[in-house]
Amino acid sequence: MNSNNQKIIVNIKDIKYQNWEICLKSKLKILKSSNIEIDSKNLDLSCSDISEIIKIANQYNCKIISFCSTSSKTIVSSQSLGFKSQLIIENSSKNTLKINQKNLTFSKTHFHQGTIRSGEYLDSPGDLLILGDVNPGAKVSAEGNIIIWGRLLGIAHAGREGNSQATISALQLRPVQLRIANKVARGPKTKPQFGIAEQARIDSEEIIISPLETK
């Protein structure tokens, strides 16, 4: 075995008659690397499931170094056990956004699925991840980062307790108002480039908006 990392995919949708443990064992038998990244796709894994994965990997002299998944449960479980983790979000057009520990602290992340409508207010004591739009007249805030897998058309306040390193990211970033820590800015008037996610952050004491890399 060489020292290069190798990703293996354990996807329950690909397994009609087998459970994920059997799939994992079959893949471990043919690996050419001892350092493994587990891509569990949409498979929800608990802490006990992940502990079982580690136990199985040890039987094949393999070391699990990280997890990636479209399941927030899997990411929170792997994070709580001390593993590097990456949440991958896909929309209907097959765009993907990879969110790792540099973007969010999953143990303190509030997940919300659905549109935030006019008059509604959503707040998080940590990071905030929204799978949906934030409509005009709606407001969202977080002590940490805000990531919106949808359109930000209302008001967003990241780093509301003074964290100037916080960021606001969205598929379409056209808010009424942006706030990061104690800095305030209006949303850009120009139309966004189609298919390009954007991020707002503080740079040189001003809020700037730039393209956010999606893969």
Q: What is the pLDDT of residues 81-118, one digit of tens each?
A: 778 878 777 654 455 566 665 566 655 778 888 899 99
pLDDT at 3 over 80: no
DSSP state of 73: H
Provide mean pLDDT across the span 124-153: 91
Which domains, ranges and CATH numbers included, belong to the chain? 2-90 (3.30.750), 108-211 (2.160.20.70)
Both ends of the chain: CA-CA distance in Å? 29
Q: Which tokens hold the place of 9? A: 């995919």
Provide mean pLDDT across the span 166-178: 90
Which letter, b or e, does each residue of 77-89 get, where b requires 16 or more Cβ atoms within 10 Å of its Cβ? Answer: bbbeeebebbbbb
Mean pLDDT across the chain, nearest whole number? 80
pLDDT at 121: 96
Provide mean pLDDT across the span 173-194: 84
Extended strands (E) in the chain: 2-9, 33-39, 63-69, 84-90, 96-100, 109-113, 121-124, 127-131, 139-142, 146-152, 155-158, 168-173, 177-180, 183-185, 198-203, 206-211
More confident residue, 66 or 72: 66
CA 52, CA 22: separation in Å to the nearest integer? Answer: 12
